[in-house]
Structure 1
Amino acid sequence: MPARIAEAEVRINGALQAEAEDAVREIARFDAEITAISERRAAREGDDAATELAPLASVLLRTEAASSSEIEGVTAGARALAMAAIEAKAGPNAQLVTANVTAMQRAVELADEISVSSILAAHQALLDHHPYAAPGTLRDQQVWIGNNALSPHTASFVPPHHIGVPVALDDLITFVQRVDLPVLVHVAIAHAQFETIHPFNDGNGRIGRTLVHAMLRHSGVTRTLTVPVSAGLLTDTSAYFRALTDYREGYPETIIRQFINASFRAIGNGRQLVDDLETVFEDWSGRLTSRRGSAARRLLPHLLNQPAVNVAYAEAATGVALSAAQRAVEQLEEAGILKRAGGGQRNRAWIAPDVIDALDAFAERVGSRR
């Protein structure tokens, strides 16, 4: 059984605490930068540009969901994820990552009141179509962790018996509601405790990382973004898993250090991605000859987040008639912004290759080491 932490005294050395507070300030600064980008563009180009903030926030959410999934060995490229989002043909991994996007959204939406119920709702969203995982339900059987571990006797970690899970989760939620701890220290310990409780048949790592973002939003550190912290953890997953082991052995400093380093890496990589997307958007704006306020220009910022589109998506995103949406897509294709992604006459799709390239570059910079 994991130790009770609801009222535990948390002692962290001053230097580590100072670094954690520096990381939190940097996360908040990055969040504010994205808001400022939107405000500057809106002031320069008109109200239509104000819609750019949501796509930038959404693309960072998607990269975080993809990185969190990859930590668990579930990988899908940017193109596959974009196609899955418009319900084009997609493999099982792309579908799982897309579900993880929904789970993170659900967790952040419920950040005002983090509870067992909100955690169950995120799990339901993550594994809704996977009955083996009992989505939205705490596990009712013993599980264990370890490659090729055929029984608990050879496992690397055996979580608590399922009978003890509800009490352990209640204890964790009480800890999450504390306000006396530095934010990143609080977040790192809560995450490690969640992974130690391991309350579900499957999806524990991904849901445990959605808890991170719910806590950052609840604390007010982030207001707009889902900072891609998992991308920072993905850089060295072996160190991340060792840090969880250290926590279980009574040494929380290691997981706190992992979150500090991951936060700085995530912000550096996230800033580069945002810069790349800003460059892409500026180039597109120069290439597109249609007037301000046209459906084609209104569709542009949406492509930053959703670089695969069909006419139905264009119609929904811009709010214009089907024929105008069709013309907008054609104009973007003529400008070289969109390229045909295949499909027949009735289910055609288009890709924005500049955005796919930027997302692939983000993934490459992560440089996962296992």
Structure 2
Amino acid sequence: MRWNWQQTNWPDFTYDPVAIEPLERKFLLHSGEFIGAFRHVGPDDRDMFKIELISDEALKTSEIEGEILDRASLQSSLRGQFGMDADAKPVSPAERGIAEMVVDLYQSFAAPLTHQTLFSWHKMVMAGQRRIQIIGAYREHADPMQVVSGTLGNPKVHFEAPPSDRVPHEMHAFIEWFNDTAPGGIRPSPALTRAGTAHLYFESIHPFEDGNGRIGRALSEKSLAQNLSQPTLIALAYTIERGRKAYYEMLERSNKYNEITEWLIYFGETILEAQRNTLKRVDFYIAKARLYDRVRGQLNPRQEKVIERLFRQGINGFKGGLSAENYMSITKASRATTTRDLQDLVAKGALDRTGELRHTRYHLKLCETK
């Protein structure tokens, strides 16, 4: 017996609750901090922040699987899904599909999990795909469902899921477990414990031909939202993508046994890091709104384009800061015009300047949000 689902105690996962309890407490504390931070966001800006946070997650959960989406198109689709004003930018099936899934997750997190929920999500994440046979239903192929690396002549099997003919039974048990362990269920489970177990349990079954990773992460977010009674907007995929190698290594180490304390500690710490990243991003978006308020109507089109580009780079900005050469490349302005524009942005309080001569760099001047 090589895999967890082949053990006699499958799927009765065991763990040390004492080891997880400090993480559970921190999760609830950080959740309160996020709610408090979000109160600083004005009503007019909340929709914008929601789109920014959700689009970041949608982009990263796809990027983990090697699929690179267009941010502007995805955000346009999200605004349309939420009933906001959206531009006429073309949206690919992949961008529209992942937008539909994350919006459905956001709006219906409290609903019990069903087979139909999972089938609908699968249709969404596989929108426009033609590389698999079955979309919107569990896999049926007779070949082993394996995670493999290496060469054709020398493959390394990292995991093999239950055969397809077992999947309906396994998924019926999984859905029953997920709903039973929800708040108000017959055996409710703490937030991190439930989300971590749900992710490992689902990935161990690997019920679809493709898209299991994206749906598995969505299930963890649904689980957390149910335990908090509100959407989390947590940066889970963003955080996992930054430590992708460790994520896959831990999944591989945890798919052979049903004692999962080590996995739950790893996943719990990942969620706590995701919460910290979410708070940083909320602070960044609040600071972004405040900067735009300070300089609204004062910038020329070149300056507006550069400021927008700096914000699009995210929290970390340009590596080493914005240079005059960066400015000229973005705006196609002359060096003299670039010098005047940059000096004006510093004078208006939009940018900070550091260094001298060829080492001069510019950074967004973001005010404290607290």
Is 1:12 equivalent to 2:26 in the alignment?
A: no
* Structure 1 residue 27 displacement after superposition: 4.5
Is 1:264 equivalent to 2:282 in the alignment?
A: no
1:339 partner SS: helix
Is 1:253 equivalent to 2:261 in the alignment?
A: yes
1:319 is aligned to none
C-alpha change, 1:363 and 1:253, in structure 2 (3 Å) is farther
Contact between 2:139 and 2:208, CA under 8 Å: does it hold in 1?
yes
* Structure 1 residue 263 displacement after superposition: 1.7
Contact between 1:34 and 1:53, CA under 8 Å: does it hold in 2?
no
1:240 partner SS: helix
1:225 is aligned to 232
2:106 is aligned to 108
Letter in 2 for 1:171: A
1:339 is aligned to 305
Contact between 2:123 and 2:135, CA under 8 Å: does it hold in 1?
yes
Spell out, residue by residue over 1:94-123, the C-alpha distance to the aligned partner (whole angstroms, 9 max, x if none). x64563233222233332121221111111
Give, in whole Å, the separation in 2 of the partners of 1:359 and 1:121. 34
Give runs of aligned pairs for residues 122-133 of structure 1, distance below 5 A.
Answer: 122-133=121-132
TM-score, normalised with respect to structure 2: 0.69
Gaps of 5+ in 1: 42-49, 290-331, 341-350, 365-370
Give, in whole Å, the separation in 2 of the partners of 1:362 and 1:165. 47
Aligned mate of 1:156, from 158, 176, 182: 158
Greater alpha carbon shift after TM alignment, 164-173 vs 265-274: 265-274
Is 1:181 equivalent to 2:195 in the alignment?
A: no
Contact between 1:107 and 1:122, CA under 8 Å: does it hold in 2?
no
Contact between 2:34 and 2:279, CA under 8 Å: does it hold in 1?
no
Contact between 1:232 and 1:266, CA under 8 Å: does it hold in 2?
yes
Is 1:37 equivalent to 2:40 in the alignment?
A: yes
Gaps of 5+ in 2: 79-86, 182-186, 321-370
1:169 is aligned to 171
* Structure 1 residue 202 displacement after superposition: 0.8
C-alpha change, 1:70 and 1:128, in structure 2 (3 Å) is closer
Is 1:277 equivalent to 2:280 in the alignment?
A: no
* Structure 1 residue 135 displacement after superposition: 2.5
Aligned mate of 2:27, from 1, 24, 28: 24
Question: Which has the greater radius of gyration?
Answer: 2
1:323 is aligned to none
Give, in whole Å, the separation in 1 of the partners of 2:160 and 2:152. 12
Greater alpha carbon shift after TM alignment, 182-191 vs 265-274: 265-274
Is 1:68 equivalent to 2:75 in the alignment?
A: no
C-alpha change, 1:77 and 1:216, in structure 2 (3 Å) is same
1:139 is aligned to 139
Aligned mate of 1:244, from 226, 242, 251: 251
1:202 is aligned to 210
Give, in whole Å, the separation in 2 of the partners of 1:198 and 1:11. 22
Give, in whole Å, the separation in 2 of the partners of 1:335 and 1:267. 36
Contact between 2:174 and 2:202, CA under 8 Å: does it hold in 1?
yes
Contact between 1:28 and 1:222, CA under 8 Å: does it hold in 2?
no
Spell out, residue by residue over 1:252-300, the C-alpha distance to the aligned partner (whole angstroms, 9 max, x if none). 12321222221222222222222222112111112225xxxxxxxxxxx
1:157 partner SS: strand
Count of matched residue positions in the alignment of Structure 1 and Structure 2: 297
* Structure 1 residue 22 displacement after superposition: 2.5
Letter in 2 for 1:212: S
Spell out, residue by residue over 1:226-265, the C-alpha distance to the aligned partner (whole angstroms, 9 max, x if none). 2011222223222212222232222412321222221222
2:160 partner SS: coil
Contact between 2:61 and 2:241, CA under 8 Å: does it hold in 1?
yes
When the two chains are superposed, the root-mean-square deviation of aligned CA atoms in Å is 3.4
Spell out, residue by residue over 1:165-209, the C-alpha distance to the aligned partner (whole angstroms, 9 max, x if none). 111111111111224322111111111111111111111101110
